[in-house]
Copies of this chain bind each other. A is one copy, B any other.
Amino acid sequence: MSFYALQADRTAAMLAATPGWRRLLALRPDLDDDTAAAILGEAARIAEGVVAPLNARADRVGCRIEAGRVRTPEGYADAYRQLGEGGWLAMDAPEAHGGQGLPVTLQAACQPLFERACIAFMMAAGSAHAAVQLLHEVADADTAAEWIPRLATGEWAATICISEPDAGSDVGRIRTRAARAGDGWTVTGEKIWISFGDHDMTPRIGHCLLARTGDAPGTRGLSLFLVPNTRVDGSANAITVQRIEEKLGLHGSPTCALAFEGAEAVLLGAEGRGLPQLFAMIEMMRLSTACQGLGVASGACDTARAYAAERRQGGDPAAPAVPILAHADVRRQILDMEARTEVLRLAILELATAMDLARCEPDPAVAADHAAFAAWMLPLAKNFGGETGFDVASRAIQVLGGAGYTREWPVEQALRDTRIVSIYEGTTGMQALDFLTRRLWRDEGRGLALFLARAHAEIAAAQPQQAEAATALADLLGRFERLSSEMMALRNDPRAGELASDGYLRAAWCALTGWMALRLAAPSLPTPLAGLSAWRLAGLAAEFEAHAARCRLPAALADAPFAAG
């Protein structure tokens, strides 16, 4: 059985053990566990057969500009077409718009298989997926009817254009301006960090773009536009590809700087409401980055384990060397990698089911609870999805030793590709601020309370079978609750809060990890996962306290002088 198929099976088993999924099935009689497993199996087949063959070439050959247009590596266009035809680009879009009407959960369950295969190529799919959602929510009927089905089938493509040279995390400093021109609009400005900002896979690319339509400062003057790179007749709109960034990794994803010079544009939604309108899509993109980290981590685990089963070193010098997988320290390394990876997998499924239930629970109060809980989990999944992908890739290099440092093995590419995941779609610092100032302070701890209630309920249910772990986890949740009270008390001291925010985010991830690690030992899951549970729980409370201690540092330390300069 291939590693992809094994990953699909493991995901299906975990999905079945996720309470939110059980509830979702009750609300969606058209779905069941077998259907989910079949979809996962097919995703594994396509990921391995169609997408994975692109990965090494994507990295080695990369993308280049020829005659002002971006050329992608051989095989991209065909693979993109196959993803579109198979319905993989917009699984969760409504059927009326060319999607499959599946829950976000199935999208999030399948996506790591594709990301594992080639994260760089899948950046194009991610943009299409985000644009479908955005257009579905805010585009007028004609625009939606024109674009969404074509994006869903891969006939056309899309990008999301937010950043500018002076507007990265600080979106409110966007300078690109939109002006009325006849019935429509034109857009002028420079956008950077545009993934697949241009390419040769589809005849048309729609840029979803934030531009300034008023003089209100900050984000209030921003509106959302669709700016196609060509008109329907194929003639070019006024957009120039300025360069492709030279990056550490993701060479197979052309990160473009684009100049818009009076380009024709269609307003999406209401003027001045650009940023709030983007939010739902940004949430989906943050879930998506977690899937990227998970996909790469999954592949790195399997590469490390397979290498360790083959590579022979050590043992009695008078006898043939033993596979390094026989050495306790090598086993520890791999079990540790797997434990981190499988905890992340459960966390993503938990989050995705909450996002689905927020949309389809009939009782609005219950739906709102799911929404608050999902908003609370999202910065955690976003940040630690990315960090876990990078960390597990780095650990895989360590297992392979010198070999892992060479291009003979895919783990060095995994390391390079994943380093950006905790930067784009909101850096760690932005996630930490969101988690503290919006989820805790502004939402008055609603998401936190829901987390504690859900985790405590599951712990109580596990108490009879897993008394020791359950008790330890209840204690950890208590510590987290106390720390959260301390963080709440910083509400009137935003600078102290900002200083503590990173530690608080990490402490929260420990608490969430504990819950998911307990779930790994659920009787319905395959036995090996229970062993991983113990690996992940060991030292977790101490890890939590290390982060908590940093939350408690005096705020004055932020103004300490630096060692040099």
A residues with a Cβ closer than 8 A to B are 3, 6-7, 10, 163, 166-170, 172-173, 192-193, 217-219, 245-249, 301-302, 305-306, 309, 312-314, 317-318, 321, 327-335, 338, 341-342, 390, 394, 397-398, 401-402, 404-408, 412, 415-416, 419-420, 422-424, 427-429, 432-433, 495-496, 498-499, 501-502, 526-529, 531-532, 534-535, 538-540, 542-550, 552-553, 555, 557-565
Best-surrounded residue of A172, A332, A342, A547 (most CB of chain B within 10 A)? A332
Contacts of A528 in B (CB 8 A): 560-564
Interface contact A561-B247, CB-CB below 8 Å:
no
Count the copies. 2
Interface contact B314-A170, CB-CB below 8 Å:
yes
Contacts of A527 in B (CB 8 A): 561
Interface contact A565-B6, CB-CB below 8 Å:
yes
Interface contact B416-A398, CB-CB below 8 Å:
no
A169 in complex: contacting residue of B314, B404, B498, CB < 8 Å: B314
CA distance in complex: A405, B559 (Å): 27
Interface contact A327-B498, CB-CB below 8 Å:
yes
Interface contact A328-B402, CB-CB below 8 Å:
no
CA distance in complex: A419, B193 (Å): 26
CA distance in complex: A495, B328 (Å): 6
Best-surrounded residue of A248, A416, A498, A552 (most CB of chain B within 10 A)? A248
Interface contact A538-B553, CB-CB below 8 Å:
yes
Q: How far is the CB of A420 from chain B (nearest CB, A)?
A: 5
Residue of B at shortest CB range from A553? B538
The secondary-structure label for the interface of chain A is helix
Q: How far is the CB of A270 from chain B (nearest CB, A)?
A: 20
CA distance in complex: A327, B328 (Å): 44
CA distance in complex: A472, B402 (Å): 39
A406 in complex: contacting residue of B245, B412, B428, CB < 8 Å: B245
CA distance in complex: A328, B502 (Å): 11
Interface contact A535-B557, CB-CB below 8 Å:
yes
CA distance in complex: A495, B326 (Å): 10
Contacts of A327 in B (CB 8 A): 429, 498
Given A193-B402, A327-B498, A419-B415, A557 contacting B543 (CB threshold 8 A): no
Interface contact A549-B542, CB-CB below 8 Å:
yes
CA distance in complex: A3, B535 (Å): 43
CA distance in complex: A218, B313 (Å): 12
A306 in complex: contacting residue of B301, B529, B565, CB < 8 Å: B565
Contacts of A318 in B (CB 8 A): 217-218
CA distance in complex: A77, B535 (Å): 51
Q: How far is the CB of A539 from chain B (nearest CB, A)?
A: 3
A401 in complex: contacting residue of B169, B305, B526, B558, CB < 8 Å: B169
Q: How far is the CB of A112 from chain B (nearest CB, A)?
A: 13
Residue of B at shortest CB range from A394? B419
Q: How far is the CB of A318 from chain B (nearest CB, A)?
A: 5
Interface contact A335-B538, CB-CB below 8 Å:
no
Interface contact A401-B168, CB-CB below 8 Å:
yes
Given A317-B172, A394-B419, A531 contacting B402 (CB threshold 8 A): no
